[in-house]
A and B are shown apart, each in its own frame.
Chain A
Amino acid sequence: QKEVEQDPGPLSVPEGAIVSLNCTYSNSAFQYFMWYRQYSRKGPELLMYTYSSGNKEDGRFTAQVDKSSKYISLFIRDSQPSDSATYLCGGTGRRALTFGSGTRLQVQP
């Protein structure tokens, strides 16, 4: 079993939709969770950083962590074609991040 599981998609939504991206993890030592956006042929860009359980909001993006169920989510409101990318979730317990496989998102205009 991988430490971080993520549905690879692809996920296709119409412009303006609310997008929900999800990951599960198995390592109880994980305390820090991050979401990255990666455009084709680019390095991953840090979108959201969350410590422990709870919600964090930044503009159209909301990250949620539920440590009791080992479940992490990223919500994108009012999705735009420019949000089309691969989204990677990662977790760590004070060492380098372990990543999920990434979910490819396509927002249709």
Chain B
Amino acid sequence: SAVISQKPSRDICQRGTSLTIQCQVDSQVTMMFWYRQQPGQSLTLIATANQGSEATYESGFVIDKFPISRPNLTFSTLTVSNMSPEDSSIYLCSVWRGSSYEQYFGPGTRLTVT
């Protein structure tokens, strides 16, 4: 498995501000992903965080709104920019370890935008 930590665990932010979420893994992983889970909903993939290059975004998600960094094989950040109440969600970091495609999740960051 993989031990994944996220900071912050929760935050309440004002409309129009930005929040950066950090994801740290206990050892090197091949792939890192960011998901969003809106209240009562399933997980939606935002983007794949690529080491040393621009993230790959899914349809409906853009870099200006959700800039992502991945400076090395154990760390990534997701920024939620110019927030609105519709961005209130749980944001989850997820990783592949090795070549098995088993996917592990962090504990999530619960974001409330007022």
Tell me the dominant secondary structure on chain B's binding face. strand
Query: A2 → chain B, closest Cβ, in Å?
Result: 9
**B106 at the A/B interface (Cβ < 8 Å)?**
yes
- With a CB–CB cut-off of 8 A, which chain B residues contact A36? 105
User: Is the CB–CB distance between A46 and B103 below 8 Å?
Assistant: yes
Of the listed residues B1, B100, B103, the one surrounded by the most CB atoms of chain A closer than 10 A to its CB is B103
User: Is the CB–CB distance between A96 and B105 below 8 Å?
Assistant: no
User: Is the CB–CB distance between B104 and A101 below 8 Å?
Assistant: no
Partner of B105, one of A41, A44, A95, A100: A44
The tally of residues in B whose CB lies under 8 Å from a CB in A reads 21
Partner of A49, one of B43, B100, B110: B100
User: Is the CB–CB distance between B42 and A88 below 8 Å?
Assistant: yes
Identity of the chain B residue whose Cβ is nearest the Cβ of A36 in the assembled complex: B105
Query: A99 → chain B, closest Cβ, in Å?
Result: 5
**A92 at the A/B interface (Cβ < 8 Å)?**
yes
Given known A-B contacts A49-B100, A88-B43, A100-B42, A42 and B107 have beta carbons under 8 A apart: yes
**B45 at the A/B interface (Cβ < 8 Å)?**
yes
User: Is the CB–CB distance between B45 and A96 below 8 Å?
Assistant: yes
Task: Kindly state the interface size class of chain A when it binds its partner.
Answer: 20 to 34
A99 to B94, CA, bound (A): 13
Give the residues from 14 to 33 in chain A that come closer than 8 angstroms, CB to CB, to chain B: 32
Partner of A96, one of B42, B48, B100: B48
A-contacting residues of B (Cβ < 8 Å)?
A: 1, 4, 31, 33, 41-43, 45, 48, 92, 94, 100-108, 110
